[in-house]
Amino acid sequence: MSTIVLDPITRLEGHLKVSVTLDANNIVTAAQSTGNLYRDFENMLVGRVPKDAAFLTQRICGVCPVSHAIASSKATEQAAGFKPSLQGLLLRDLIQGANFISSNVLHFYQLALMDYVQGPQVHPWTPGYTQDFRFNATDSQALINNYVAALSIRRQAHEMGAIFGGKLPHVGNVVPGGVTATPTATDITNFRNYLNTVASFIKTTYAADVNKLAAAYNDYYTVGKGYGNLISYGVFDTNTSGGLLFPAGTVTNGAVGSFTQTNIKEYVGHSWYSSPSGANPASETTTPNFGKAGAYTWLKAPRYSGAPYEAGSLARTWVSGDYRHGVSVMDRHLARYTETNKIATNMLTWLNQVVAGVSGSVNLGIAAPVSGSGIGLTEAPRGALGHWLTVANSAISKYQIVTPTCWNASPMDDAGLVGPIEKALIGTHVVDTAQPVELLRIVHSFDPCTGCSVHVMSPEGVEMSNFVVQPLGA
């Protein structure tokens, strides 16, 4: 029996550590994923005016800020009993769509591809593992060329989003009430030109490259499945009556089912919190307890009807029916491509509905609740994102955020079930323990983002208030 510790896992947003235990045949028998950063965002928001949360929560994640702004705005709007206009929803779709494209292209080329292709022999692409590269020199060079092209495409996707959002990352105008921009005809034309460029890359280059990867590494259709349970809160409003491009839903043992947010509970049995375990975020409290016996992480464990669920592109496309091949490392890449293409296609439809000269915001004053509560559910590129808000005396009295990486990188829950990434690592054969590229491929396929993991704190074995807590099974 041996162990492998990877800290940091690079090529993701934030700070993530993975440690695994191997048996005599180098098969992973146990795994722990741990975030290494705690930011205390929820407590920062208490006492502030509700609309400011749309700006501040973007600063949780520089890769998916738009999704946080939208989740926060939706929560405040629900508390105020307000619904944005179609123009406002369309502008949000277009800004969020631009950010999804930028993030998904970044993920495939900049974050994931170096697990399969040797990069240029200069920093930051070297050093790296040299294990299990399968492309010939011609294909490798072509993929590296497309890595460089993708840097331009993801940048242009951000430029496209900034046309209506002001700037990216961290947009300037997605607020409770809608989007404050009033697009001009020139803006719409400018956006369309960018969209054509970006969509062309997706439909040709990205499509070819993801299929090239899948062909060369088709054994990865059977690696990193995990539980196979999938969850989506739904995203991209298509009308003012709740229609969504990717609907909310769950996939349990391959069967698509409905989604009900009250079935979400967060467990802290193995997390360093003394607050009650098993509460819905709306009534949840967060009380840190650094030395708690049996705990090994600061990440809470969100569960749906008591079970671990995987969030992300594969969950969205499975629920929507766009991609239902399987659950694995390679399926996650194919699903991410599939949704990127679908988003780009639909953005043209949304853009054609945007009316020049009309504000995307009806009246921001409407969306300033004095008291009440609201829930904002949407999707970040890496999965289901929810903000739970309570307002009293015109100020935030309570704010809870459950991020996609909380779902995916969660620790063991009170029932002893490990998180989805941990589960996906178990059973993996590591060919060369000095170069465990299989582990990187599995973790990266989830596109984790630990800056998103608001509750995440320092790992096991770290001194906190004079306690040294050892990992489970250590």
Partner 1 sequence: MKISRRDFLAWTVAAGVALNVEFNLDNVNNVMAAETDPPIIWIQGSGCSGCTISTLNVTNPTTIDNVLLNKISMKYNSTLMTASGDLAMQTLDQSATQYKGQFILVIEGAVPTGANGNYCVIGEVNGVPLTMQQAVLKYGPMAKYVVAAGTCASFGGVSASAPNKTSCSSASTILSGKTTNPVVNLSGCPVHPTVLIQTLLDLILIGMPAVDTNHRPTKYYGTTVHATCERRDKDNCFEDKGCIGPGCQNVCSTLKWNNGQSWCITANYACIGCSNPAFPTSPLLSGNYD
Nearer to partner 1, 53 or 235 (CB): 53
Are the beta carbons of 430 and 36 closer than 8 angstroms? no
Work out which of 67, 78, 146, 173 binds partner 1, going by CB under 8 A: 173
Q: What's the rounded Cα separation, in Å, for the pair 451 and 447?
A: 12
Does residue 155 touch partner 1 according to CB under 8 A? yes
The single residue among 85, 110, 263, 353 that binds partner 1, judged by CB under 8 A, is 110
Q: Which of residues 277-306 bind partner 1 (CB under 8 A)?
A: 290
For 335, the token pair is: 């699903």
Q: Given the rule CB under 8 A, which of 3-11, 223-231, 338-346, 423-431 is the region that contacts partner 1?
A: 3-11
Interface characters, 125-144, with partner 1 (x: CB under 8 A): xxxxx---------------
Q: Does 411 interact with partner 1 (rule: CB under 8 A)?
A: no
Subset of residues 306 to 325 that bind partner 1, contact rule: CB under 8 A:
none
Question: What SS3 string covers 136-156?
Answer: CHHHHHHHHHHHHHHHHHHHH
At closest approach, how far in Å is the CB of 98 from partner 1?
Answer: 10
User: Which of 2, 43, 193, 283 is in the footprint of partner 1 by CB under 8 A?
Assistant: 43
When the beta carbons of 11 and 333 are compared against partner 1, the nearer one is 11
What is the distance between the alpha carbons of residues 200 and 157, in angstroms, rounded to a whole number?
Answer: 12
Q: Which stretch binds partner 1 (CB under 8 A): 110-118, 220-228, 236-244, 328-336?
A: 110-118
Closer CB to partner 1, 230 or 402, in the complex: 402
Q: Which member of 21, 26, 37, 142 binds partner 1 (CB under 8 A)?
A: 37
From the list 146-154, 371-379, 409-417, 424-432, the region that binds partner 1 by CB under 8 A is 146-154
Residue choice 175, 244, 319, 329 for contact with partner 1 (CB under 8 A): 175
- What is the three-class DSSP state of 111? helix
According to CB under 8 A, which residues from 418 to 447 bind partner 1? 440
Dihedral over Cα of 269, 422, 315, 168: its sign: positive
Pattern 47-86, partner 1, x by CB under 8 A: xxx-xx--xx--xxxxx-x---------------------
CB 58 within 8 A of CB 454: no
Helix (H) / strand (E) containing 319? helix 313-320
Kindly identify the residues of this chain, within the stretch 234-263, that bind partner 1 according to CB under 8 A: none
Least distance to partner 1, CB of residue 15, Å: 6
Based on the shown chain and the rule CB under 8 A, indicate whether residue 368 belongs to the binding site for partner 1: yes
Interface with partner 1, residue 372, by CB under 8 A: no
Rg (CA), the chain: 22
Amino acid at 244: L
Q: How far apart (Å, rounded) are the C-alpha atoms in residues 324 and 320?
A: 9
Which DSSP symbol is given to 282?
G
169 cis-preceded (ω within 30 degrees of 0): yes
Binding residue count for partner 1, defined by CB under 8 A: 86
Using CB under 8 A, pick the residue from 21, 27, 38, 238 that binds partner 1: 38
The number of angstroms, rounded, from the C-alpha of 422 to the middle of its chain's C-alpha atoms is: 17
Two structure tokens written together for 166: 């002001």
Q: Which of residues 177-216 bind partner 1 (CB under 8 A)?
A: 180-182, 190
Structural contact between residues 273 and 300, judged by C-beta atoms closer than 8 angstroms: yes
* Residue from 67, 301, 458, 469 in contact with partner 1 (CB under 8 A): 458
- Of 1-9, 133-141, 235-243, 404-412, which part binds partner 1 (CB under 8 A)? 1-9
Q: Assess whether the previous peptide bond of 124 is cis (omega < 30° from 0).
A: yes
Q: How far apart are CA 406 and CA 383, in angstroms?
A: 10
3-state secondary structure of 15: coil
**Shortest gap between Cβ of 319 and partner 1 (angstroms)?**
28
400, 388 Cβ separation under 8 angstroms: yes
Query: Taking a C-beta distance cutoff of 8 angstroms, is the pair 374, 80 a contact?
Result: yes
